[in-house]
Amino acid sequence: MTDALLPANLNLPLHAGRPVTSETPFVRWLLIGIAVLFMIVFLLMPLITVFGEAFASGVGAYFDAISEHDAWAAIKLTLLVAAIAVPANLVFGVAAAWAIAKFNFRGKSIINTLIDLPFSVSPVISGLIYVLLFGARGFLGPWLDRNGVQIIFAVPGIVLATIFVTFPFVARELVPLMQEQGKLDEEAALSLGAGGFRTFMRVTLPNIKWALLYGVLLCNARAMGEFGAVSVVSGHIRGQTDTMPLHIEVLYNDFSYGAAFAVASLLALLALVTLAVKTALEWRYADELAAQRRH
Amino acid sequence: MDAPVRIAMKYGLREAHRPPPSPTWGLPVDVSIENVARAFGETPALNGVSLSILSGELVALLGPSGSGKTTLLRILAGLDVPTAGRVLFGEEDALKLTVQQRHVGFVFQNYALFRHMTVFDNIGFGLSVQPLRRRPAKAEIRTRVMELLDLVQLSGLEKRYPSQLSGGQRQRVALARALAIEPRILLLDEPFGALDAKVRRELRRWLREIHDRTGHTTVFVTHDQEEAIELADRIVVLNKGLIEQVGTPDEIYDRPASPFVASFIGETNALPVNYESGRLYLDDRPLEIGSGSGPDGPRMLVFRPHDIELLASRPGGIAGRVIAERRHGAVRRLEMEIGMRRHRIEIDVPADHPKTRKGDRISVLPSRWWLFDAPRAGA
Amino acid sequence: MVRAPSLALKRPSVLPGFGLSLGFTLVYLSLIVLIPLAGLVLKTAELGPAEIVHIITDRRTVAALKLSFGAAFVAAAINAVFGVLVAWVLVRYRFPGRRLFDAFVDLPFALPTAVAGISLTALYAPNGWIGSLLAPFGIKIAYTPVGVVIALVFVGLPFVVRTVQPVLEEFDREIEEAAATLGAGRWKVIARVMLPSLTPAILTGFALALARAVGEYGSVIFIAGNIPYVSEIAPLLIVIRLQEFDYSGATAVALAMLVISFGILLAINFIQAWNRRRYRND
């Protein structure tokens, strides 16, 4: 592709010509245009649609939809589930990372594979396995029934399914990071007389705090937004076993589009906050995040 | 008309309408650099250098980092554009040509081999990307690649990938790849910088042989003066974007044009002296060495540690006290403090010389020396 | 210092908390993962191969599997192409809003699938912003398999971009310069030197996008139409079977999904290993 450079006896400005390793301005802007158009169509427009449809019937209708009884129950349930699942997974993530990173034992790769499991499985299948176990016709179903314990079609089932789907997030951030950080700091602290717990609080925790925050952020976003797995185990009892995503489905199937989008907009807002904090953490703490650009 | 061209013309492919290859394609050329300057914003990397390189010559661009040598090399290749000046390949204005059209072979310090291609494909790359009209047949490409593999002594490795080769082997592949297109001029950017010392020395010798055999006009950049002296027909010494001296290795070593060149090539001592009425004075004592020329005034006397004679006890030499001594290869190196103003110099004496303890007073006279203008304050 | 042999019971290091952390980890994994998985395995054993095959080869099941995997493939392929383009543009060029777009690429990771589902449907329905543009041409997207593909493109968008970006960022400019000095024009350099070295990353991204798209539920069921044999995805079929209390049917479909996915990922792994052998990074 011929690309004539200006004769050199002109007084050339700084960026005369263009480096060998770039394309002509026309090509560059064409590619930028296509890529941006793609991103606008596939990313921005759906996002804008959520808010557009939510407020389509006016602000009053919006707040009515959110504060309506069943919607409010769904919000509360979502928060409750997240409040249980996220801390539990946080503890698990720390424990698993501590065990894997600071000690030698066989079976590490099995644990790592199990941790990655929920990502390779459809959310519906994630829900299915709990139904198979605890459902009315499941293996433990009759026993649970006899003892009056409700797991499927009740909150405990929702919590379990959510935990399953979200437990990898914290662990996946911490395990590689802590493995990379090694044991030297902790061993030094111990040799200076610090106890196990103190070592963890004063030495380990500061080293992993940003990765921890990052993992919790992603865990929470997924916990509040999980649909497929929860849909399978929940039974869709309005006001009782509907989380926000499920309630959105209920409203939508009832043709209450405005209300559905109103509730959806809350989750979309959460998504934007998650994205913002996530990006901020990635930009500033790239070194202390184990999995900066992989999921 | 051969098949590819017929087909190209039938389907109206652009390739068929390319201009015929320049008449100097493949033949080594003279290179003429006229007043080339390159500034990056406010900082000048090259300050107006002019140089002419004869066809078939092996020239070294030598200088410390920041001297502009790599910038100049990249301008020759077309990887960079000067802010002023002209570059001619033979009679042709090289700056009007794109990188692809300049037909230069470039060898990078870090090889820049295509990792996903075999050695064979790397070397043949330049031939295989020719437009249809000029592209040699597959069989011919194969012959050329095998010839080049032979030339660089890597026959049998054509199916390997770069990650399976040693550093020295990779650099040889890089050279073969550059030679494959029969370049008008071969440019090497610190080609042995990434290799360890032993491999570097071997490859130096080998590059000289290749050059003698193929006769390409070759320019290489280095900061290693030993390498420049060993390899080049002529050396161009650069400093801060300007050419300090151009000459054969002997000229550069024996007749440096400036203190910078003298000290960059080999080791030197520099003493401030006074030139008065045809004689040199060090701290007001006359020195019994030849004379300079020009107006009276301060000068810089520059000489190498091994270019000295020991004086028994005669006036007229550079006298001082030994303040340190150490073994230096086959000789003993003494550090001396000279005169009232306590200048320091280093000299080499035979290892068995008696007077080599700290505190001894000795007197020396340089057997070979140069006289330069005294540096201005702040230089 | 002699290391104690690495049995889980002996103290393999001077740091405390081994028993506690490993114990907790194993208990948690058992309760949350292993036991439920065991339920799946038990159910499978209960069914027996003949029954499973019978259910899987049912026409409705086959249609659902074909839709899920077919649409996932097409969507992952679209993401492979556009993902490379987006990664290229984000890494190599500067333009207003670049950093914002870069951050937004991760939106599909953060946005709940149900939210994405209803908003994509609203967008591509005949009266939606994009749907209404295409309706005059007779192009229907919502409630057709095409809608499924569009939703899966959204869901898988970040994968290829994020796997290709780091490779592009680290790409050695000298290699491009070398190719240019050898006479290759810009497009040849991109096609013959740069894209081949991106292939492993593209493949990885493709595999991740594919795996995600195959199992996707929330983003798809609103836009899909869900008509059996036509626009019904496999996860939906599983849900329907569960609602009918046909646990066996649900399990069989799930098994089919798992086995096929596993097969695809295995194949991709082979391709990647073959690619890696050529590089053999030192």
* C182 close contact with A: CB closer than 8 A: no
DSSP code for B47 = E
SS3 A269: helix
Structure tokens of A203?
């030495």
Minimum-distance CB partner of C115 among A104, A264, A279: A264
d(CA B268, CA B53): 29
For chain A, residues with pLDDT lower than 70 are 1-18, 290-295
DSSP-derived secondary structure for B333-373: EEEEEETTTTEEEEEEEETT-S--STT-EEEEEESSEEEEE
Q: Of C270, C134, C107, C248, whose CA–CA distance to C203 is shortest?
A: C270
SS3 B105: strand
Contact B98 A4 (CB under 8 A): yes
Contact B81 A3 (CB under 8 A): no
* C120 close contact with A: CB closer than 8 A: yes
Classify strands B234-239 and B58-62 as parallel, antiparallel or unpaired: parallel
Please name the residue of chain C whose CA is at the shortest distance from the CA of residue A118.
C33
d(CA A172, CA B29): 60
d(CA A79, CA A61): 23
Interface test with B, best of C182, C188, C282 (most B CBs within 10 A): C182
SS3 B287: strand
* B104 close contact with A: CB closer than 8 A: no
Q: Of A103, A105, A101, whose CA–CA distance to A179 is shortest?
A: A101
Average pLDDT for runs of 10 along chain B of length 379:
51 43 61 91 90 93 92 93 91 89 92 93 93 87 93 91 92 94 92 89 90 90 92 94 93 90 88 85 81 81 89 78 87 87 88 77 88 69
Contact B112 C177 (CB under 8 A): yes
Minimum-distance CB partner of C114 among A38, A245, A278: A245
Contact A17 B87 (CB under 8 A): no
Minimum-distance CB partner of B96 among A4, A16, A19: A4
Q: What is the pLDDT of residues C143-171, one digit of tens each?
A: 889 999 999 999 999 999 999 999 999 99
Q: Of B147, B130, B162, B131, whose CA–CA distance to B14 is shortest?
A: B131
| Contacting residues of B for C188, CB less than 8 Å apart | 129
For chain B, the maximum distance between any two Cα atoms, rounded to a whole number of angstroms, is 92
| Contacting residues of A for C37, CB less than 8 Å apart | 129
Considering just the CA atoms, what is the radius of gyration of chain B in Å?
A: 26
Contact C280 B164 (CB under 8 A): yes
Spell out the residues 6+ positions from residue C271 whose beta carbon is closer than 8 angstroms to its own. Answer: C203
Contact A7 B96 (CB under 8 A): yes
- CB contact at 8 A, C41 and A133: no
* B54 close contact with C: CB closer than 8 A: no
Minimum-distance CB partner of A5 among B41, B81, B83: B81
Mean pLDDT of all residues belonging to chain C: 89
Q: Which pLDDT does position B162 carry in this prediction?
A: 93
d(CA A76, CA A73): 5
Classify strands B331-338 and B343-350 as parallel, antiparallel or unpaired: antiparallel
* CA distances from residue C274 to B115, B161, B268, C268 in whole angstroms, order as listed: 14, 14, 58, 10
Contact B84 A9 (CB under 8 A): yes
Point out which residues pair with B89 in neighbouring strands.
Answer: B31, B92
Q: How confident is the model at residue C65 (pLDDT cuts 50, 70, 90)?
A: very high
Report the 10 Å Cβ neighbour count for A41. 15
* B1 close contact with C: CB closer than 8 A: no
Is ipTM strictly over 0.95?
Answer: no
SS3 B98: coil
DSSP code for B266 = S
Q: How confident is the model at residue C201 (pLDDT cuts 50, 70, 90)?
A: very high
SS3 A294: coil
Minimum-distance CB partner of A16 among B81, B86, B99: B81
DSSP-derived secondary structure for chain A: ---PPPPTTS---TT-S--TTS--HHHHHHHHHHHHHHHIIIIIHHHHHHHHHHTTTHHHHHHHHHHSHHHHHHHHHHHHHHHHHHHHHHHHHHHHHHHHHH---TTHHHHHHHHHHHHHS-HHHHHHHHHHHHSTTSSSHHHHHHTT---TTSHHHHHHHHHHHHTHHHHHHHHHHHHHH-SHHHHHHHHTT--HHHHIIIIIHHHHHHHHHHHHHHHHHHHHH--HHHHHHH---TTTS--HHHHHHHHHHTT-HHHHHHHHHHHHHHHHHHHHHHHHHHHH-GGG-S-SS--
Summarize chain B as % helix, strand, coil (round to 5). 30, 35, 40
Q: What is the pLDDT of residues C29-40, one digit of tens each?
A: 999 999 888 889
Q: Is the pLDDT score of C131 beyond 80?
A: yes
Minimum-distance CB partner of C182 among B78, B79, B181: B181
Minimum-distance CB partner of A132 among C39, C158, C173: C39
| Contacting residues of B for A15, CB less than 8 Å apart | none
d(CA B264, CA B250): 14
In this structure, which amino acid lies at residue B43?
Answer: T
Interface test with B, best of A1, A3, A5, A18 (most B CBs within 10 A): A5
> Number of CB pairs < 8 Å for A and C?
292
| Contacting residues of B for C280, CB less than 8 Å apart | 161, 163-164
What phi and psi values does residue A251 have, to the nearest 5 degrees?
Answer: -60, -45
Q: Which pLDDT does position A294 carry in this prediction?
A: 44
* C32 close contact with A: CB closer than 8 A: yes
* B41 close contact with A: CB closer than 8 A: yes
Q: Is the pLDDT score of C10 beyond 60?
A: no
* B194 close contact with C: CB closer than 8 A: no
Please name the residue of chain B whose CA is at the shortest distance from the CA of residue A14.
B41
* CA distances from residue A55 to A49, A62, B33, C239 in whole angstroms, order as listed: 10, 6, 69, 32
Q: Which pLDDT does position A290 carry in this prediction?
A: 67
- The model's pTM: 0.84
* B85 close contact with A: CB closer than 8 A: yes
DSSP-derived secondary structure for A109-145: HHHHHHHHHHHHS-HHHHHHHHHHHHSTTSSSHHHHH
Segment 4-63 of chain A within 8 Å of chain B by CB: 4-5, 7-9, 11-12, 14, 16-17, 19-20
Q: In the sheet where B308-311 sits, what is the strand order?
A: B308-311, B361-366, B318-328, B331-338, B343-350
Q: What is the pLDDT of residues A136-186, one digit of tens each?
A: 888 888 888 888 888 888 899 999 999 999 999 999 999 989 988 888 888
Considering just the CA atoms, what is the radius of gyration of chain A in Å?
A: 25
Classify strands B285-287 and B297-303 as parallel, antiparallel or unpaired: unpaired
- CB contact at 8 A, A242 and A158: no
* B12 close contact with A: CB closer than 8 A: no
Please name the residue of chain C whose CA is at the shortest distance from the CA of residue B80.
C177
How many angstroms away from the CA of A37 is the closest CA of chain C?
A: 10
Spell out the residues 6+ positions from residue B316 whose beta carbon is closer than 8 angstroms to its own. Answer: B286, B287, B288, B365
Q: Which chains touch C (3 or more CB pairs under 8 A)?
A: A, B
Q: Which pLDDT does position A17 carry in this prediction?
A: 53
> Number of CB pairs < 8 Å for B and C?
76
Interface test with C, best of A125, A134, A255 (most C CBs within 10 A): A125
Burial of C178 (0-12, 13-18, 19+ CB in 10 A): buried
DSSP code for C32 = I
d(CA C95, CA A74): 42
| Contacting residues of C for A38, CB less than 8 Å apart | 82, 85-86
| Contacting residues of C for A260, CB less than 8 Å apart | 118
Q: Of C146, C272, C277, whose CA–CA distance to C208 is shortest?
A: C272
How many angstroms away from the CA of A20 is the closest CA of chain B?
A: 6
Structure tokens of B91?
């009679």
Q: Which residue has the tokens 């919790």?
A: A216
What phi and psi values does residue B353 have, to the nearest 5 degrees?
Answer: -65, 135
Minimum-distance CB partner of B98 among A5, A12, A14: A5
Please name the residue of chain A whose CA is at the shortest distance from the CA of residue B42.
A14
Contact B114 C175 (CB under 8 A): yes
Minimum-distance CB partner of A103 among C13, C40, C218: C13
Burial of A22 (0-12, 13-18, 19+ CB in 10 A): middle
